[in-house]
């Protein structure tokens, strides 16, 4: 049995790069120098504030891009909300609070809703590269209303899957929760069944190409890699698929990428 499991794990590692996809966790072992992370986080904050963004969907690169599946550029997304904050020195001012869904330390099949700072958000980054969606002003106001209401927490499903099917309520990841909140805001509903029906009708998930062996053996590497909520094809919510949905339906003000040296439109 041990030998079979060892072979299974080897096959997952060699055939299943999605095993390195999960990047929805708080930073425990930062890769990048703290001063560079802080400088980049402040750059993103200043950029958003200059554009008048009260709420934005921001993504980070939490894993080596070379191991990410085709179509996946970012591994974690969160809402950034402009609000009054308390700074490290105890003073108060305006800045961004980050509303995350993070995998739970010690049990990656469970998640929690966690608020942190832009610096905390990028502390888990593999590279300083952020994808940003600024919703149109009307949608920003509606998203803020959802975040400030009990609906935001009620839409959280703690059963985590890296490849959660956004059309199903069986599992959830950070990007699916983000999408659920956006749909709640768009359709003025807190009903999960209605939200999932709207996603099924109007949202196209990012296809993830897996062969039968990969699907069979993935849970041997981590229970958080289950595809039990999918049919014959696997598709999940990603930053890119949300950006395409927003753009196709004229729901965005801007969609762009920011790095330490450039700001470019997708």
Q: Which of 210, 263, 257 is nearest to 234 (CA)?
A: 210
Query: How does pLDDT run across 12-51, given as a tens digit for each residue?
Result: 444 445 544 555 767 667 789 999 999 999 999 999 999 9
Q: Inform me whether the pLDDT recorded for 8 exceeds 50.
A: no
Separation of alpha carbons 260 and 109, rounded Å: 33
Q: Which domain holds residue 206?
A: 2-265
Separation of alpha carbons 236 and 205, rounded Å: 5
Q: Inform me whether the pLDDT recorded for 89 exceeds 60.
A: yes
Separation of alpha carbons 152 and 49, rounded Å: 24
Torsion of CA 203, 257, 24, 219, to 10 degrees: 60
Q: Which of 31, 21, 40 is nearest to 117 (CA)?
A: 40
Q: Please report, for residues 76, 100, 214, the alpha-carbon distance to residue 178 in angstroms, rounded to integers and kept in the order given.
A: 10, 9, 27
Packing angle between helix 174-187 and helix 239-248, nearest 10 degrees? 20
Range scoring the smallest mean pLDDT among 5-9, 44-48, 120-124, 150-154: 5-9
Q: Which residues of 216-242 are buried (b: 16+ CB within 10 A; e: fewer)?
A: ebbebbeebbbbebbeeebbbbbbbbb
Section 66-71 average pLDDT? 78
Task: Tell how far CA 81 is from the center of its chain.
Answer: 15
Residue 14 burial (10 A CB sphere; 0-12, 13-18, 19+): exposed
Query: How does pLDDT run across 197-255, given as a tens digit for each residue?
Result: 999 999 999 998 775 445 544 554 456 678 888 888 889 999 999 999 999 999 999 99
Separation of alpha carbons 64 and 32, rounded Å: 12
pLDDT attached to residue 109: 92
Separation of alpha carbons 161 and 66, rounded Å: 21
Separation of alpha carbons 246 and 253, rounded Å: 9
Beta carbons within 8 Å of 198's beta carbon, 6+ residues apart: 183, 186, 187
CB atoms within 10 A of CB 84: 9
Residue 22 bridge partners (DSSP): none
pLDDT attached to residue 28: 61
Separation of alpha carbons 61 and 79, rounded Å: 15
Q: What is the DSSP string of 187-218?
A: HT---HHHHHHHHHHH--PEEE---HHHHHHH
Packing angle between helix 2-15 and helix 212-221, nearest 10 degrees? 120
- The model carries a pTM of 0.88
Parallel, antiparallel or unpaired: strands 206-208 and 76-86: unpaired
- The count of residues in the chain is 266
Overall number of domains in the chain? 1
Separation of alpha carbons 16 and 18, rounded Å: 5
Query: How does pLDDT run across 152-174, given as a tens digit for each residue?
Result: 999 999 999 989 999 999 999 99
């Amino acid at each position: 049995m041990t030998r079979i499991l060892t072979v299974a794990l080897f096959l997952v590692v060699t055939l299943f790069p999605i095993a390195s996809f999960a990047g929805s966790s708080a930073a425990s072992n930062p890769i990048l120098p703290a001063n560079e992370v802080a400088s980049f986080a402040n750059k993103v904050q200043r950029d958003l504030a200059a554009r008048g963004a009260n709420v934005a969907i921001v993504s980070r690169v939490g894993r080596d891009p070379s191991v990410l599946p085709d179509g996946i550029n970012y591994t974690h997304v969160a809402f950034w909300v402009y609000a009054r904050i308390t700074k490290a020195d105890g003073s108060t001012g305006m800045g961004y609070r980050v509303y995350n869904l993070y995998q739970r330390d010690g049990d990656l099949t469970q998640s929690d809703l966690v608020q942190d700072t832009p610096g905390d958000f990028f502390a888990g980054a593999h590279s300083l590269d952020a994808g940003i969606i600024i919703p149109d002003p009307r949608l920003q106001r509606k998203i803020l209303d959802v975040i400030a209401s009990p609906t935001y927490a009620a839409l959280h499903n703690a059963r985590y899957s890296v490849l959660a099917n956004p059309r199903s309520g069986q599992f959830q990841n950070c990007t699916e929760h983000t999408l659920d909140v956006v749909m709640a805001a768009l359709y003025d509903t807190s009903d999960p069944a209605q939200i999932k029906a709207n996603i099924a009708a109007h949202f196209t998930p990012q296809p993830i190409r897996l062969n039968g062996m990969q699907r069979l053996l993935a849970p041997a590497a981590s229970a958080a890699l289950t595809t039990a909520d999918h049919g014959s094809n696997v598709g999940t919510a990603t930053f890119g698929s949300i950006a395409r949905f927003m753009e196709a339906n004229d729901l965005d003000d801007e969609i762009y990428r920011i790095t330490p040296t450039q700001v470019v439109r997708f």
